[in-house]
Chains A and B, each alone.
Chain A
């Protein structure tokens, strides 16, 4: 009843502010919406697999709204970060994830929070899907004391439970992820680790070293290559002798998945997770995706690709639009409801940005803390021999 009233009043408010002709007011209740629908999803390319994930995906209204909200939150958060960076409130490196939202959200849809995940530096989206809040993510970007890493880490070094960052060295996160997977197996849990890397990182030697050990030891790891077509300014054709990243694991079974479709990503992840949990060892997923921004905020992103290309992806393959269209055309949500979510998300981001710009910077006392764990306090040499600072665990 309350919801219906809100819907009606929102529409009326909308019609009052519009100078145009009268608007058809329609009130909808929950009973009017389709609780779930099944969608055809793109077939997945397979490597060393007889069968792949299903060709259809059933989406509940609840999940649809959740995915929509989360993807929209990531999108808005990244755009706000862009703004704050241009105002010089965020400094250093800032690698934005807008365009790739379906990957982070779809992956999380296929695993649980008791599973583990590690990625590289384009990590704000994952920090959110793994349990971080927009507030603490933005405050970390602005380097404040309430940041998720208390301002000590910045954009590339955010951590939360079962999320191991945020890693700045290209490719290093992949063996780390295999180590987490080793721990899962060692401790006898049925948890797995998702270890992400990009098309640029895919040529790193340590990744091949990891493929080898993960296979030898049958570690429960899902390798995921987020192929957004460009490693910084170098297109995939210029960097890789083979751009079939899902086959690069050689002896490891692989899937190539449409990374712009959250349902595709989810079904593929579920499939991969089953593979791992049944003790078969590692599996590799290539997610074909796209980033709207340049590599980082210092890259306009148009010297190595055309604006037309970016615009084409935005208009034809945007992950949020795709989900929205699906839900609307199947009567799983209303335009107003989704607009409502947009407004709530915008507010959340505004509040978080406000917080992130007003929260104080970390205290200087904290400068030398967190060098060692579980250690009594000790002296740290400052910039001069007379500057004696203290480190607390």
Chain B
């Protein structure tokens, strides 16, 4: 269904065929499998790459993202850790110091708070403090942000927290193409990368072209993608909310409003140029994120637009659509109202456009 929708959004009019045979030049791959394949290929390509984290090996991954990897690569390269985030994150960083290329999984990014000192003080800052002597080629990855019914301690978005810190690269893929290309890029990058996945996207299938399935397919970190061209307003988003923006755009298109949807792909370094170019074209901006509003990703984007050339092109103030400024509640009705919904995006667009 998701691929059907994505076809509709993109405005293509040819007949959709669900291709399952090997002569196909498109592949249906969900985000989980895209991540799995990316790791598999990078483990194969470079012996220094290894994966560690809770349940990543024999359990196949808490969310099955590392399914099959332990069976293929064994104990040396796929390592189950005890429940000791600070310890194993530190070990992963130390291994990176000494020349390996670890992938350190946090079962969810909420648990990274146990280890955040190692991510920031040991990983992010070391290249600078050592004046370029000590590199830290590590990827920290795991699901980020809200899930479904997991309540306050398991639902926080850390894009703003990690995006705040120089020395880190922070990546937030939306679809399978993003997941695959960005994870490969992250693993090949010689710098510490915070890789923010989304649990609710794991099972969502997307189409990948043959080119995207190539083992050297990488997406450059630091470059946003315009997922949908538009003329009236720019919607900037990351991760799961990109899908909501595209859905909102489809609805708004029926009312004659053409939204340009920008998928950030990378939180840090932020691709301000792409956002500015879009805003200078459309004259209006709404940012959409799952995280809390105060000091968030949207806040940064709005500040940058204010400070740059795009400000003079704004026909209205830029606004943010965000998660509600509360810890995540459990009851479904409350949870549904804690996160940005498609109707919130549509409402905001109309407000900005004074419709």
Contact = CB atoms under 8 A, between A and B. Distances in A.
B90 A184 contact: no
A371 B167 contact: yes
Nearest to B167: A371
B96 interface: yes
B121 A168 contact: yes
Chain B interface category by residue count:
35 or more
Interface string B55-75: 000000000000000000000
B87 A212 contact: yes
A370 B134 CA distance: 10
A194 interface: no
Interface residues of A, number: 49
Given A186-B50, A370-B128, A373-B191, A209 B88 contact: yes
24 contacts: A149-B131, A159-B130, A174-B90, A175-B91, A176-B93, A176-B94, A176-B118, A179-B90, A181-B94, A182-B95, A182-B98, A183-B94, A183-B100, A209-B82, A209-B86, A213-B81, A213-B87, A369-B132, A370-B130, A370-B131, A372-B169, A372-B190, A373-B137, A393-B132
Given A179-B91, A210-B90, A378-B269, A370 B132 contact: yes
B127 interface: yes
Leading 8 A-B pairs by shortest Cβ distance: A179-B94, A175-B90, A209-B87, A183-B98, A150-B131, A176-B94, A209-B84, A385-B307
Given A370-B127, A373-B191, A186 B95 contact: yes
B117 to A, nearest CB: 6
Contacts of A213: 81-82, 84, 87-88, 91
A174 to B, nearest CB: 7
Nearest to A151: B131
Contacts of B130: 149, 152-153, 157, 159, 165, 370
Contact of A178 (B50, B90, B131, B190): B90
A181 B127 CA distance: 20
Nearest to B137: A373
B249 to A, nearest CB: 31
B118 to A, nearest CB: 6
A373 B190 contact: yes
B93 to A, nearest CB: 6
A11 interface: no
B191 A375 contact: yes
Interface string B102-145: 10000000000000011001100011111111110100000000
Contacts of A178: 87, 90-91, 94
Given A169-B122, A179-B93, 10 more contacts: A152-B128, A152-B131, A164-B98, A172-B121, A175-B91, A186-B100, A209-B84, A209-B88, A210-B90, A370-B132
A213 B82 CA distance: 8
B92 interface: yes
Interface string B208-227: 00000000000000000000
Interface string A229-262: 0000000000000000000000000000000000
Nearest to B166: A371
A205 interface: yes
B266 to A, nearest CB: 13
A242 B145 CA distance: 42
Chain A CB count within 10 A is highest, among B76, B93, B100, B134, for B134
Given A175-B90, A179-B95, A186-B76, A169 B121 contact: yes
B99 interface: yes
Nearest to A204: B86
A172 B118 contact: yes
A225 to B, nearest CB: 17
Chain A CB count within 10 A is highest, among B79, B128, B307, for B128
Nearest to B128: A370
Contacts of B308: 385
A183 B95 contact: yes
A349 interface: no
Contacts of A266: none
A179 B135 contact: no
A177 interface: yes
A205 B95 CA distance: 20
B97 interface: yes
A1 interface: no
Contacts of A70: none
